[in-house]
Amino acid sequence: MSAPYWEATLVPTGVEPPRSWVAVDDTDAGALSLDGRWDFRYGRRADGSDLGDFVPDAITVPGHWQLQGHGQPQYTNVRYPFALNSPHVPEDNPTGEYRRSFAVPAGWDGGRVLLRFDGVDSCARITLNGHELGVSTGSRLPVEFDVTDLLSDGGQELVVRVHQWSAGTYVEDQDMWWLSGIFRSVTLLHRPADSIRDFWLNADFEPATGLGTVTAEVDAPAAVLSFPELGLEAELTAGTASSIDCGPVEPWSAERPRLYTGVLRTAGESITVRLGFRRVRVEQGQITVNGNPVLFRGVNRHEWDARTGRAVSAAVMATDVELMKANNFNAVRTAHYPPHPHFLGLCDAAGLYVIDECDLETHGYLIDEFTSTPENPVLQPEWVEPLRQRMQRMVERDKNHPSIILWSPGNESGAGPAVDAMLEWVGRRDPSRLRIYEGDKSSRHVDVYSLMYTPHEKVRALGEYREEPHADAAADEHRRTLPFVLVEYVHAMGLGPGGLSEYDELFATYPRLQGGFVWEWIDMCIDPGDGRWLYGGDFGEELHDGNFVADGLLLPDRTPSPALADVKAVFSPIRVDLANVKDGSIGVHNRHEVLDLAEFTIAWRAELDGECVFQVQEQLPPLPAGESMELAVPAGVLAAVAPGPAIASVHVRILSGAGLEVTRNAAIVARPADHALAADGALATAGSALLSGAELERGLESLWGVHSLSPRLWRAPIDNDRSFSWQPRDDFWRKAGLDQLTHRHENGPEGITIHSTPPGLEWSLVTRIAGTPLPATGGATGGLELDITQDFTGEPPEHLPQIGLDVALVDDYCQLDWLGLGPGEGYPDTGQGNTFGRHQAGLQQLTTPYVYPQENGARAGVEWARMSSAQGRAVELRASRPVSLALRPWSTEELAQATHGFELEVGTDRHLSLILASSGVGTASCGPGILDHYALGAVKQQVRLQLSPGRQDVTA
């Protein structure tokens, strides 16, 4: 018995040869969209024996059936959802049959009619008017069928039977939800007589002369290519590549994505075409575009929409590209499959370098980074041709996009003949672009060496060509000539990633290191329609990988997580260094690839205690790309912040020609001469009136509404600390009892002493709070001045998450104003997007709704703050040295216990964490842990706080 089609390692059958994808708006040939509601029936057997009757208008195309009430989503990362027995799949194979009828539009005379599917997951048998057209495989690749001779005179009936599991599943083991169905558009295309079957306009730029050339291949009779803007009108001959001189042109790059729009015309069809002239090379061990070395400030993008899964609208794609550009990204890797082709057009227009990655991953067959089981499909002869064809299908579909500068055969599939065949084929078909593939450590068939999640020191070694030799001498020699790119790094899961700035420094130092791609763009959670964010296991799946699917820079609803602002700051193509601002100049570094700074402006602001006292804006000089300069501070700025009784600071913002902020920075230039609080000084009124513990407690309660004080060393575990991480620090911290400290309060004549000890261990944290009353001024009630010290006895653990004090409050404080770093949360190795200044946030903005609840929201570098409650209480804090504050409507324990954001309800409880020292966060959820200099030891802490009744801001 021959294998059923869904278990055949087949290439698609009955299909047209692959060709360039043309948007229906770009051709004058007729097209009919078959998107919309289709009839549907669903069963669990691939032979269709249990498919009931069709339900009319029951499902939306494009879409996934699991998100429309049939079957369940399931999320696994590396593991396959069923036992490995390629090419066999389980008998329980969810199967959906789609049906719709349509009429061929009038006027489609002559020529042929094609039926195009842009994406069907994972395998489909397609039937038109009772005739089988063929079988589609390759979920994220298009198939086209010639249906000309099968059209009936009346209406047409199209039936598509789709299977969740197929032989193709074995090569589609990407880290994402298993979701099925017709998830991209279905279109009927008229191909008039003498229309254009395929074309490739490959536009080259010669940096030395500034001349452009187009190599044009066309599969069409008597085609004419015209670009009026270039004064170009050329006749093309089918079957031969014509080389067309275009004269002087402006080159295309991510920074200046210059496109020329023209027309490719035959007697039967006109297609709008776009040229981006650029030359991609490896020169002297560096990737260059138009002769300029590039530095990838990139991100890995899965296609995702929390409501519709991988069926993403054009509007969502546009939002993604706009957000990437606005946040200083210049590159995107289409992890781990060819994206909807519309996205690539957006990258051409906006300026993003693209790694176009083919639909291949066999991760579940890998034993470790270097070895795979012998059954790995990429090692099997029968997979060579189907996988080679997948590469061909992607490249032919996407070849006209100037934004694509690298081709990738796939992700994490190891090495083998099938991958070699993919790389060798594309090397011959398109030598104008480069090849990259992380999965083959020999890098034999690629132009760029790449790894993922590599620790900083190893990356430095690569930058210095000090890498471990490859066992094969020839491969080693070749690999040492290659540039290096991190295809994935800084795993943006939950709070973090830390370590980004240090990677950026390495990229800036070593020419061989040409940047990397942050993992990943968006948290891939499912919103079932009520705003909840669900992850693996929430659909009753037994096998799943939990919240590992939520590791993006955007929260599931596309609101930026704080990390996005940090990435924007670190990736900024313009750096401003304010270290010497007091002396009258700042450093400006132009990190662009081609742009000089003539079109950018700098906005200066002088502030006293956070209030703007002077501002001025000026054009930046035309500093060439790659160069640095000293820029004089305008006279008025420094004059306005001459030392006085306030914290004086200077702020700069760099704005693009369009007025968008590229980056910002700020520096404190003077502190008040009579700063009342010196960290090492004595209490202002010490000796005179030290309050007893009981008096101090009463004072704190009446002034601030303090209900209880709990010293704290533990944080609600962040994803980077949890047990699945590469450095499961939280396991260690729990073993050390940090989450279970018990406290003993002693009220003495000189204040409060709190002994905090873990169960059954000998060491303790001793917190001492001494206080004196502050005199009342101008009729207002007086305040309190506190001296807080925290120190250790015995042998505390070597590394701690934080050192501080949790304050449970009586009033429902709902707003924080502060002078410090902001506007976002900040930890020692995050918060690069923050600047010093006066900030304000309501309770909701003060917490970050990470999908999996964890430590979040602390505002760092705080020197002054005012907390205001709904009841009208306000209290001001002035600190002798910068501290971190986190105001939350739940306790650390509540935060730590919840497993979904929606489990945390906002009541009237308020908890303030006063964090005197904090560990970094690292990126160990997938990658290196906290860098040594961000680790926190058991170090004595001291701070002096002045608390006073605050002025309530009058709200309308």
Q: How far is the CB of 611 from ligand IPT (least distance, A)?
A: 44
Q: Does 563 bind ligand IPT (CB under 6 A)?
A: no
Q: Which is nearer to ligand IPT, 487 or 576 (CB)?
A: 487
Q: How far is the CB of 438 from ligand IPT (least distance, A)?
A: 8
Q: How far is the CB of 413 from ligand IPT (least distance, A)?
A: 10
Q: How far is the CB of 175 from ligand IPT (least distance, A)?
A: 3
DSSP per-residue string spanning 684-711: TTTTT-PPPHHHHHHHHHHHH-EEEEEE
Q: What is the 3-state secondary structure (H, E, C) of 348-415?
A: HHHCCEEEEECCCECHHHECCCCCECCCCHHHCHHHHHHHHHHHHHHHHHHCCCCCEEEEECCCCCCC
Q: How far is the CB of 555 from ligand IPT (least distance, A)?
A: 16
Q: Which is nearer to ligand IPT, 179 or 926 (CB)?
A: 926
Residues between 456 and 495 that touch ligand IPT (CB under 6 A): 488, 491
Please check whether residue 438 is in contact with residue 450, taking contact to mean a CB–CB distance below 8 angstroms. yes
Q: Does 198 bind ligand IPT (CB under 6 A)?
A: no
CA distance 220 to 269: 10
Q: Does 411 bind ligand IPT (CB under 6 A)?
A: yes
Q: Which is nearer to ligand IPT, 287 or 550 (CB)?
A: 550
- The contact pattern for ligand IPT, residues 2-41, with x = CB under 6 A and - = no contact, is ----------------------------------------
- The contact pattern for ligand IPT, residues 354-393, with x = CB under 6 A and - = no contact, is ----------------------------------------
Q: Which is nearer to ligand IPT, 336 or 712 (CB)?
A: 336
The owner of tokens 């000309």 is 148
DSSP 8-class letter at 889? S
Residues between 332 and 351 that touch ligand IPT (CB under 6 A): 336
Neighbour count for residue 779 (Cβ, 10 Å):
5
Q: Is the peptide bond before 823 cis (omega within 30 degrees of 0)?
A: yes
Q: Does 551 bind ligand IPT (CB under 6 A)?
A: yes
Q: Which is nearer to ligand IPT, 717 or 824 (CB)?
A: 717
Q: 208, exposed or middle or buried, with CB in 10 Å at 0-12, 13-18, 19+?
A: exposed
Q: SS3 for 159? A: strand
Return the residue of 13, 77, 101, 899 that touches ligand IPT, per CB under 6 A. 77
Q: How far is the CB of 507 from ligand IPT (least distance, A)?
A: 20
Q: Residues with Cβ < 8 Å from 322, sequence gap 6 or more?
A: 350
Q: Which residues are annotated as catalytic? A: 412, 488
Please check whether residue 784 is in contact with residue 771, taking contact to mean a CB–CB distance below 8 angstroms. yes
Q: Residues with Cβ < 8 Å from 27, sequence gap 6 or more?
A: 269, 270, 271, 272
Say which amino acid occupies 615: Q
Q: SS3 for 418? A: helix
Strand-pair category, 186-191 with 123-128: unpaired
CA distance 547 to 926: 13
Diameter of the chain by CA atoms? Answer: 103
Strands of 280-283's sheet in order across: 280-283, 286-289, 292-293
CA distance 226 to 638: 57
- The contact pattern for ligand IPT, residues 174-193, with x = CB under 6 A and - = no contact, is -x------------------
CA distance 356 to 332: 9
Q: Which is nearer to ligand IPT, 225 or 926 (CB)?
A: 926
The phi and psi torsions of 316 (rounded to 5 degrees) equal -65, -40
Q: Which is nearer to ligand IPT, 520 or 566 (CB)?
A: 520
Q: Which is nearer to ligand IPT, 175 or 359 (CB)?
A: 175
Q: Which is nearer to ligand IPT, 360 or 736 (CB)?
A: 360
Residue count, binding to ligand IPT (CB under 6 A): 12
Q: Which is nearer to ligand IPT, 488 or 811 (CB)?
A: 488
Q: How far is the CB of 393 from ligand IPT (least distance, A)?
A: 21
Return the residue of 346, 588, 874, 926 that touches ligand IPT, per CB under 6 A. 926
DSSP 8-class letter at 609? T
Return the residue of 16, 204, 412, 863 that touches ligand IPT, per CB under 6 A. 412
Cβ-proximal residue to ligand IPT, closest one: 175
Q: Which is nearer to ligand IPT, 278 or 491 (CB)?
A: 491
Q: How far is the CB of 76 from ligand IPT (least distance, A)?
A: 10
Q: Is the peptide bond before 122 cis (omega within 30 degrees of 0)?
A: yes
Q: How far is the CB of 309 from ligand IPT (least distance, A)?
A: 16
Q: 775, exposed or middle or buried, with CB in 10 Å at 0-12, 13-18, 19+?
A: exposed
- The contact pattern for ligand IPT, residues 37-76, with x = CB under 6 A and - = no contact, is ----------------------------------------
Q: How far is the CB of 363 from ligand IPT (least distance, A)?
A: 7
The two three-digit tokens of residue 201, written as one number: 């306009």
Q: SS3 for 717? A: coil
Neighbour count for residue 245 (Cβ, 10 Å):
11
The two three-digit tokens of residue 182, written as one number: 């017709």
Please check whether residue 137 is in contact with residue 122, taking contact to mean a CB–CB distance below 8 angstroms. yes
Q: Does 519 bind ligand IPT (CB under 6 A)?
A: yes
The two three-digit tokens of residue 716, written as one number: 């609600």
Residues between 297 and 336 that touch ligand IPT (CB under 6 A): 336
Q: How far is the CB of 488 from ligand IPT (least distance, A)?
A: 6
Nearest to 359 by CA among 172, 165, 590: 172
Q: Which is nearer to ligand IPT, 65 or 337 (CB)?
A: 337
Q: How far is the CB of 734 from ligand IPT (least distance, A)?
A: 24
The phi and psi torsions of 660 (rounded to 5 degrees) equal -85, 145
Helix (H) or strand (E) holding 273: strand 270-275
Residues between 415 and 444 that touch ligand IPT (CB under 6 A): none
CB-side exposure of 752: number of CA atoms within 13 Å?
A: 25
Residues between 148 and 177 that touch ligand IPT (CB under 6 A): 175
CB-side exposure of 572: number of CA atoms within 13 Å?
A: 25
Residues that bind ligand IPT (CB under 6 A): 77, 175, 336, 411-412, 452-453, 488, 491, 519, 551, 926
